[in-house]
Amino acid sequence: MILLHPNEDYLITTEKILQTIDEHADSTALLLLPGIQYYTGQLFNIPVITKYAQDRGLVVGWDLAHAAGNVPLRLHDWNVDFAVWCTYKYMNAGPGAIAGAFVHARHGKVDYTKGEDQPQFRHRLAGWYGGDKKYRFLMDNVFRPTQGAGGFQLSNPSIVDLASLSAALDTFNQVDMAAKREKSLLLTAYAEFLLYQILSQDRNSTAAFKIITPKDPSQRGAQLSVLLREGLLEKVVQAFQDEGVVCDKRAPNVIRVAPVPLYNTFEDVWRFMDILGRTILKN
């Protein structure tokens, strides 16, 4: 397993990824990367990296836990081999909600030209719920997968999990992804603007924080990761708790600020930054 490590700015550049692919392509079977890196909020260039790796013989998969519902994704058009994600983050299905998977259509084909008892398909774990419903009860010990990603299922998901996800998607699908992304870019830019205002007022000899998420909006989603000055994290988190604000922290000193366009407002962003600013400036 080849691990990629960030540079001094906490980022893993596209150039570094492509260089690593070149160095190890002859001995590597699979490239698996996060669409958005959970700690920094960096959005990777999925189409460029995917094509580069596939051109060198690698299968390419993406972990989209922090990208699904956050940024526009065109997995089929980008020729991604497969992807997985959770639905409890930006898709709002709740903790423990069912996950999702994408398998490119070319991997989900089932060819019956040699006969119905000799289906030709990409190898996989043969689960009961991956079998085509037309043949599932023949009991002839021949696995005939459902066409498409459904043919990779292993068992049935919980109906409660499905109901939670269905309710979340009913709301999510009322606005298209392009509109959500447009508002997301504005919300995050506003948050960034207010963060720099706080920095301009801080008179401490050591800067109160550093934003370690890329400044280029095309290289990030909703999230800004704020690396706080040593000793500030617990004070900031406590101030948020006292004001009834939920904020994610990542030890030792990072808070992840992610205004979500479905339900966060510009006023929410201002209130969050007002609490953060007051706490930092008195410490």
Residues listed for the chain: 283
Q: Render pLDDT for 126-183 as a digit per residue (tens, 0 to 9).
A: 988 999 999 989 988 899 999 999 999 988 888 988 999 999 999 989 999 999 999 9
Q: Where are the domains of the chain?
A: 14-172, 177-281
pTM, two decimals, is 0.92
Q: Render pLDDT for 125-139 as a digit per residue (tens, 0 to 9).
A: 998 899 999 998 998
In the prediction, which pLDDT does 139 show? 85
- The contacts of residue 106 (CB under 8 Å, 6+ apart) are none
Write out the H or E segment, with its range, that includes residue 242. Answer: helix 233-242
Q: Does domain 177-281 have CATH number 3.90.1150.10?
A: yes
Nearest Cα to Cα of residue 90 among 276, 266, 262: 262
Q: Give, in degrees to the nearest 5, the angle at Cα 128 between 122 and 132.
A: 65
Write out the H or E segment, with its range, that includes residue 33. Answer: strand 30-34
- 3-state SS class at 21: helix
Q: How far is CA 198 from CA 2, 246, 275, in A?
A: 40, 20, 11
**Architecture (CATH level 2) of domain 14-172:** 3-Layer(aba) Sandwich (3.40)
